[in-house]
Structure 1
Amino acid sequence: MNHTRPPASGPAAARGPRTGPPAPRTGPLAHTLRGLATVLVGPDPSPGETAATLVSAAAGTALAVGACLAAGLPAAATAVTGVVALDFFGGAAATSTAAAKRRYHAPGRTLRHHLGFVALHVQPFALALFVPGFDWWTATALYLLALGSAAAVGLAPLPLRPPVAFCATATGSAAALLLLPVPDPLSWLAPVMLVKLLLGHMLPGAARGAAERGAHGTEEGRPGGEA
């Protein structure tokens, strides 16, 4: 025999059934950490995106500073190199995340915005100012290489941007390593800078590509397209 309970009445019934556990409360520390992650990575980053950014930044900075110390560079040169490495290695991971794509490739963002972001990366000139053996013309060549390559990626049709970005990163890194007189402790600079700015920042990511395909249709959805 089935025994059924009478329907509930009173304040408990007025509130309705509980649909799940109460939302956890976040304290000031959690709120601060979330805000810091948003600044470093992008809006509402996942824990994995934040962790990858922090690991990349910490490991890259340790490698760069260790190379400076092994080469006996002055303290100012080592400190500036460490700050640049923190930004470039951390940014190489951060700019590839979906959180960063939501920030830098949101609706209304144009090529002018993207190139403006690249143009702000004047770190090679700071290194030329402090690091012995890193010449101003080398810094200028690297800066113009990054800016010109970013323009080439941004002007390419959307489906061609990934191969153009990879081509520019690979050939630009090789050219910088083979042709530019860069001190050994800064040999990482050109590849990591181009990875951050071209493969990370300039590529819109899966979300933008999906939006473009949804707006214009896909080959599978067109008459005569692939089955």
Structure 2
Amino acid sequence: MAGPRSGPAGTWDRIAGPDAGTGENAGSLGLGLAGALLAPGLARGHGRRAAPVLRLLALDLWGGAWCNNTPSAARWYHRPGQGARQHLAFAAGHVHPAVLAWVDAGGPGDRRARLRWAAALYAYLLAATALLTATRARRTRRVLGLATTAGGVLLDRALTPSAAAPWFAPVFFAKLLAGHAAGAALLPADPLAAD
């Protein structure tokens, strides 16, 4: 795999992978822009007044859900030297639930409920990422990548989804957890596992 280019193109290479093709890049950028355009219209409650925030979140998440599940991103994020610490740091940087808790909150009681929602989704993300990065068997990681994505969506539904961004949990967890299923193919073969 070639390394990232220099300049602005290199910044994109560090996001999508240095060998991302036209289709991968078009999907990432196209879905990101679609999310930025559509997110405010999908908002309910207090979310409509936070259109710029919703646009930024959707740009990152909708495009990232595609991007992180492409073969080039899988090769880039699961290359040698990228281990549990790097994956946990990447996940930890996604404080989107806290931002949505602020957007969704109405009164003081509602604010506490939304912060509990944000803390639960964020803690789930970190725990699921730790579990995924500790799993060395290819088949198990593929299954866990998809199962933890579904589990995050179910947790969100059980705790009452964001009114401002009802699309949030499926896209958030698809971006940050499902990509580990794609990256599982790059794990070294385990001769003891029937993968």
Distance 1:50 1:61, change over 3 A: same
Matched, 1:162 2:162: no
Aligned-residue offset at 1:186:
1.6
Cα distance in structure 2, aligned partners of 1:156 and 1:217: 14
SS in 2 for 1:204: helix
8 Å CA contact 1:37–1:50 kept in 2: the answer is: no
Identify the residue that residue 47 of structure 2 maps to in structure 1: 73
Aligned-residue offset at 1:93:
0.7
Identify the residue that residue 95 of structure 1 maps to in structure 2: 68
Identify the residue that residue 188 of structure 1 maps to in structure 2: 167
Identify the residue that residue 124 of structure 2 maps to in structure 1: 145
State which drifts further: 95-104 or 130-139.
130-139
* CA deviation vs aligned residue, 1:116-173 (integer Å, no higher than 9, x gap): 1111111111222233357111111111111111112222232210111111111221
Match of 2:94 among 121, 134, 150: 121
Which 5+ residue runs of structure 2 have no aligned equivalent?
1-5
Larger radius of gyration: 1
Matches within 5 A, 1:9-158: 34-35=9-10, 37-68=12-43, 71=45, 73-75=47-49, 77-133=50-106, 135-158=114-137
Cα distance in structure 1, aligned partners of 2:180 and 2:147: 15
Aligned length: 182
Match of 2:151 among 135, 158, 171: 171
Task: Specify the code of the residue in structure 1 equivalent to 2:76.
Answer: R
Cα distance in structure 2, aligned partners of 1:40 and 1:113: 14
Which has the higher relative contact order, 1 or 2, with Cα contacts under 8 A spaced 6 or more apart?
A: 2
* CA deviation vs aligned residue, 1:97-131 (integer Å, no higher than 9, x gap): 23222322111221111111111111111222233
Sequence identity (%): 33
Q: Which has the higher helix share?
A: 2
State which drifts further: 192-201 or 32-41.
32-41
Query: TM-score w.r.t. structure 2 length?
Result: 0.80
* CA deviation vs aligned residue, 1:13-55 (integer Å, no higher than 9, x gap): xxxxxxxxxxxxxxxxxx9774464244121311111011112
Task: Specify the code of the residue in structure 2 equivalent to 1:48.
Answer: G
Cα distance in structure 1, aligned partners of 2:170 and 2:85: 24
Aligned-residue offset at 1:192:
0.9
Cα distance in structure 2, aligned partners of 1:164 and 1:74: 35
Task: Specify the code of the residue in structure 2 equivalent to 1:73.
Answer: G
Distance 1:137 1:72, change over 3 A: closer
Task: Note the aligned Cα RMSD (angstroms).
Answer: 2.7
Cα distance in structure 1, aligned partners of 2:8 and 2:133: 33
Which 5+ residue runs of structure 1 have no aligned equivalent?
1-30, 220-227
